[in-house]
Structure 1
Amino acid sequence: MTQTSVQGEQTRGGVPQAREGAAEGSGSGSRHGRRRARPRRKHRVLRWSATTLSVLILGTAGAGYLYYQHLNGNLGTGERSSGDSKAKKNAPNAAGQTPLNILLIGSDSRASAENVKLGGSKDNRGNPPLGDVQMLIHLAADRKSAAVVTIPRDTRVPIPECTDPDTDDVYPATTREIINTTLARGGAGCTLATWQNLTGVYIDHWMTIDFAGVVRMADAVGGVEVCVNQNVHDRPLPGVSGGSGLKMKAGRKEIKGEQALQWLRTRHAWGSDPLRARAQHMYMNSMIRTLKKQNVFTDGGRLMDLAEAATKSLDVSEEIGSVKKLYDLSKQLKSVPADRITMTTMPNIEDPQDRNHLVPQEADAEKMWQMLRDDVPFDDKGTDSGKKKAEEKVSDDPAAADGEIGVLVQNATRSSSLGPVDGRARTVSGLLAEKGFARASADTTAGLAEERTVVRYPSADLEGDAQRIAKSLGIPLSSVKKSTDVSGVTLVVGADWREGTTYPKKSDPKAGDLPSTSDELNGADSSKCMDVYKPYRW
Structure 2
Amino acid sequence: MARPRDKRADGTGPPVRSNAAARHTSGHSVGPARHLGAVRRTPVWLKATTIVISVLLVGVVAFGAYWFIRLQGNISTQALGAGNARTEAAPDDATGRMQILILGSDTRDGKNAQYGGAADSTGYGHSDVMMLMDISADNKRVNVISFPRDLLVDIPKCKDPKTNQEYPAQTGVMINAAMSEAGIGCAVDTVNRLTGLEIDHFMMADFNAVKELSNAVGGVDVCVSDAIYDPDSGLRLAKGTSTVQGEQALSFVRTRHAFGDGGDLGRIKAQQSFLSSLTRKIKNDGTFSNPARMLGIADAITKNLTIDDGLASVPTLLTVGGRLKNIDVGKVAFVATPTEPAVSDSNRLQLAEPAASQLFAAMRKDVDLTDPNATPTASAGATAGAPASAEPTASQAAAASAYNKALQPVTVANGSGDPARANELLAALNAGGFTQTGQLNARAMATTAVYYGANFADVAADVAALLGIPASQVLPAAGVAGVQVYVGSDYTGGAQQSDAPVALPKDIVNQTAGDAVCQQANPALITR
Tell me if TM exceeds 0.5.
Answer: yes
Which amino acid in the other structure matches residue 279 of structure 1? A
* Residue segments in structure 1 that go unaligned for 5+ positions in a row: 1-37, 236-242, 393-404, 414-418, 433-445, 456-468, 481-493
Deviation at 1:126, TM superposition (A): 5.9
Aligned 1:434-449 pairs, distance under 5 A: 448=455
Name the SS of the counterpart of 2:519 in structure 1: coil
Deviation at 1:116, TM superposition (A): 2.4
Deviation at 1:474, TM superposition (A): 5.6
CA contact (8 A) 2:80 2:308 kept: yes
CA distance in 1, matches of 2:402, 2:62: 60
Aligned 1:251-266 pairs, distance under 5 A: 251-266=240-255
Which amino acid in the other structure matches residue 290 of structure 2? D
Name the SS of the counterpart of 1:214 in structure 2: helix
Closer/same/farther in 2, CA of residues 406 and 518 from structure 1, 3 Å limit: closer
1:158 aligns with 2:158: no
CA distance in 2, matches of 1:116, 1:78: 22
Name the SS of the counterpart of 1:362 in structure 2: coil
Aligned 1:324-403 pairs, distance under 5 A: 324-380=315-371, 385=374
Match of 2:68 in 1: 68
1:219-242 deviations in Å (ceiling 9; x for gaps): 11222111111111112xxxxxxx
Aligned 1:197-212 pairs, distance under 5 A: 197-212=193-208
Aligned 1:186-201 pairs, distance under 5 A: 186-201=182-197
* Residue segments in structure 2 that go unaligned for 5+ positions in a row: 1-36, 382-396, 412-427, 434-452, 475-479, 487-492
Match of 1:530 in 2: 519
CA contact (8 A) 2:365 2:376 kept: no
Match of 1:520 among 510, 516, 520: 510
CA distance in 2, matches of 1:53, 1:389: 49
Match of 1:459 in 2: none
Closer/same/farther in 2, CA of residues 447 and 344 from structure 1, 3 Å limit: closer
CA distance in 1, matches of 2:211, 2:272: 17
Deviation at 1:91, TM superposition (A): 10
**TM-score (norm: length of structure 1):** 0.69
CA distance in 2, matches of 1:449, 1:89: 26
CA distance in 2, matches of 1:222, 1:261: 14
1:305-334 deviations in Å (ceiling 9; x for gaps): 111111112111111101111111011122
CA contact (8 A) 1:198 1:451 kept: no
Which amino acid in the other structure matches residue 124 of structure 1? D
Deviation at 1:431, TM superposition (A): 5.9
1:99 aligns with 2:92: no
Closer/same/farther in 2, CA of residues 111 and 43 from structure 1, 3 Å limit: same
1:223 aligns with 2:219: yes
CA contact (8 A) 2:333 2:369 kept: yes
1:421 aligns with 2:423: no
1:103-122 deviations in Å (ceiling 9; x for gaps): 1001110122x3121x2356
Q: CA RMSD in A?
A: 4.3
Match of 1:115 among 112, 121, 132: 112
Closer/same/farther in 2, CA of residues 125 and 431 from structure 1, 3 Å limit: closer
Which amino acid in the other structure matches residue 374 of structure 1? K
Closer/same/farther in 2, CA of residues 194 and 407 from structure 1, 3 Å limit: closer
CA contact (8 A) 1:90 1:99 kept: no
Which amino acid in the other structure matches residue 185 of structure 2? G
Closer/same/farther in 2, CA of residues 80 and 42 from structure 1, 3 Å limit: farther
Deviation at 1:407, TM superposition (A): 9.4
Match of 1:313 in 2: 304
CA distance in 1, matches of 2:129, 2:458: 23
1:275 aligns with 2:266: yes
CA distance in 1, matches of 2:230, 2:472: 49
Name the SS of the counterpart of 2:284 in structure 1: helix
1:195-215 deviations in Å (ceiling 9; x for gaps): 011101121110001111211
Deviation at 1:452, TM superposition (A): 10
1:329-386 deviations in Å (ceiling 9; x for gaps): 01112221111111010000111011111111121001111111000100129xx825
CA distance in 2, matches of 1:116, 1:358: 29
Match of 2:418 in 1: none
Closer/same/farther in 2, CA of residues 475 and 141 from structure 1, 3 Å limit: farther
Aligned 1:117-136 pairs, distance under 5 A: 117=114, 119-121=115-117, 123-124=119-120, 128-136=124-132
